[in-house]
A and B are shown apart, each in its own frame.
Chain A
Amino acid sequence: MKFPDFIVTRLDWLANQARANSLWPMPFATACCGIELMSTASSRYDIARFGSEAMRFSPRQCDLMLVAGRVVMKMMPVLQRIWLQMPEPKWCISMGACASSGGVFDTYAVVQGIDRFIPVDVYVPGCPPRPEQLIRSILDLQDKIKATGTVNAREFAARSTYEGPTSLAKQLAPDETMVVPGDYSTATRLRD
């Protein structure tokens, strides 16, 4: 079979193929999800099969931010700055329960989901997620890029509003969240 010397295609399609199959992750690993992330990158699960093996520890060379682990309020300005330092086009995967929703850490210091402050494309549930789930999320992101991507990133300009969750319906007022300690000697918990 003789291949032609030229192909005819849309420029968007060509850009999407190139971008989707070479997603370079910026590993923002702060907790145990980072261990699964390392496992995904190493030989047994081998994220290189999907073109994402080039972990870059500089945000300027990445196009995929992988937030793995809980993010505390002191870290949030750092996370936002790293996100802003990444060149367009860029995507974000929120890996694990803590990055997506705060997980079990519903305390004064832990941000309840990074999507309140930076845009997130794919969420991965799990505590921590298995490497297969992370690979699945990268494949889903590739599908998303191939389906909606444009060569000059018009799809991002259209998404100009805040994409995170609205206020939770059951957000307790601060004065309701204090548990009355009760009686220590009988170990019963009294509530008024």
Chain B
Amino acid sequence: MVSFKKSMLWRVGIVVLAAVMVEILSIVQYQHVRKALLEETELRSLLVMKDMAEVVQHTLERTEITLRENLWDVKRSMVHPDSVFGAMVRLIDEDPNIVGACLAFRPYYYPSKGRLFEPYASLQPDGSIKVDQIAGPDHDYTRNEEYAWVLETLSTSWTDPYKYGPDSLAFTTYLVPIYDEVGQIDAVCGLDIDLSWLGDTLNTRQPYPSSFGLLLTPEGELVAGPSKSRTPETEVKHVVDLLNGVIPASQVPGLSYSTTKLYKDPYWQVVEVYKTDEVYARVRHQRRQQVFFILLGLVILMFMIDRYARNERHLREASEEKARMGAELEVAHRIQQEMLPKTFPPFIYGSLEPALEVGGDLFDFYTRDGKLFFCIGDVSGKGVPSAMLMSVARSLFRILSQKVDSPSKVLEYMNKELCQGNDSNMFITFFVGCLDLYSGELRFSNAGHDKPFVVAKDIVLLSSKSNLPLAVFPNTQYEEQTCTLEPGTLLLLYTDGLTEAKNMDREAFGRPRIQNVLEQFRIGSDQSLYKLVSTLSEEAHAFAGEAPQSDDLTMLALRFDPEYNRQEQITLVNKESEVTRLGSFVKDFLEPLQLDKKLAAGMRLALEEAVVNVINYAYPVGEQGEVLINADTNGHEVRFTITDSGYPFDPTTVLEPDTTLDAQNRPIGGLGILLSRKLMDSISYNRKDGKNVLSLTKFIL
């Protein structure tokens, strides 16, 4: 259990470590991708700005070309001050980018116009062109820095973008000096270019929905930007403030921008603004997906580990359960083996080898009243269910055959009992025999069991009539048969585990092989029954070879052997002194049995007490009477029969004396019969033909 927990901990640890590593990898990758993405975005905005720059440059160049191409027209118009207006209008007509054109003459160029003269044409919102002379005390262009700068440097120039007018439109003005034939400057031509469209152009091809481009003056003043519908003014203002350092960068997190210089003039700047959130949005989405999959994988992995651990636990539990079952089966096996007779008198021997731990076969025997009761049976099926039914059958046989001598009756009663509640439809083939150990008379009844072999001079199968097995129908009648065995005759009972023991080729052991073995056990053979059973078992196993034992292997062999039967008798008269003769008689009779001293003494005492009882009380005082004592044995038990013609008296009904009283109150009467009872295995009384017949039996094995 401890090692299991450890290994579980280990596994979880590995998974967590793996997960952490995957996560770290994913974070590194994410950061890397972010950086790459940011770089790419900057590159993209540079490209956008380059496009922008080209567009603006193209626009401005076009204006420059327009002026160059129309310079002759402007110069020609200068012949008369009023014709200048027409030239200005034509310039506006020529180039849609030009929204205003003026010509600022050097002071007193037209004496008639005074010091300052500046004809100006401008495009009106309704598309018409308005002309005007705009110079005056309020508007002295000679004080204009740019005008002065042109005069000083004698070069063309573009003004910085500026805002002008009620709508705060953004403009730039192209300033070109106009020379006369000798190279003196007559005037400066100014062409106003509306830049407000630049804001729209800057923002038509933005890479992200919320990114935007700005055009700023060198002073950082906003010239053009996204439309109000695209980006809120406050946001634009925010960025402009940021660029001008009005607010620190820390106040606008998540905002990123690139700036680039525009056109030849270093004072223009275009700003591309985008939000990092948006830039990272897709990669963040991917990252979220990645994390989700990692977590999912982890969960699946944990689930798998859990399942694995569970399976392992089940396996372990199953194997523990199996071990426990094994242990219980081992106990069941022992119990079942203990039910089988273990000590065998010389005339009978049996063995049972279960195919599984427990089996459905059984055999049993015992002797009663000089008769050997024996049985062999085979419960259908194998294993625990069979074994349980087998135990029931064995108990029933024991109980019933104690009271009933007739094998068919025993079967009948057993069958009735076994049929009750036999829902599993198991059945038992069963053979019951009762052999009179003195006469050799065999009574038997066969409930569907294999016919036993009878080995006398010939080897034959006992011609038994087959009745239905036990536990089939409750009212089955079992036929009983009788035969008499010759002395020396051997009977072999077996279950189909012997005849049907299979080898690897699925051949059965069969009866002929049994018969071969039995050849050596014909009448006259002094080979032991143990030898027979063990030989058959060995042969069957040798035959089966590697093939597993498929069924219980059970055999019971018995021999009618009057060699062990002995019977002696003595007649005493009713005098106490006769007890001495009785003592010698018993000692002589028991001598050949070579019994344990205590056992022999006990039997002698039991008999003496019973006989003394008769001597003392059976006959009227003074009347001579006889006591006949018969002793017999079959090698398995010793039986004394005491017969007298005295008063009818059944000593078995005498109450036992109280053996716990103190010496003064201790009665002595009844002690004798107590000793007889205690020292013998059974004691029975019969009144027969006017005689008392008392039987005392003792098993001697």
Chains A and B come from one and the same complex: no
Query: Chain A residues in contact with chain B, CB under 8 A?
Result: none
Query: Chain B residues in contact with chain A, CB under 8 A?
Result: none
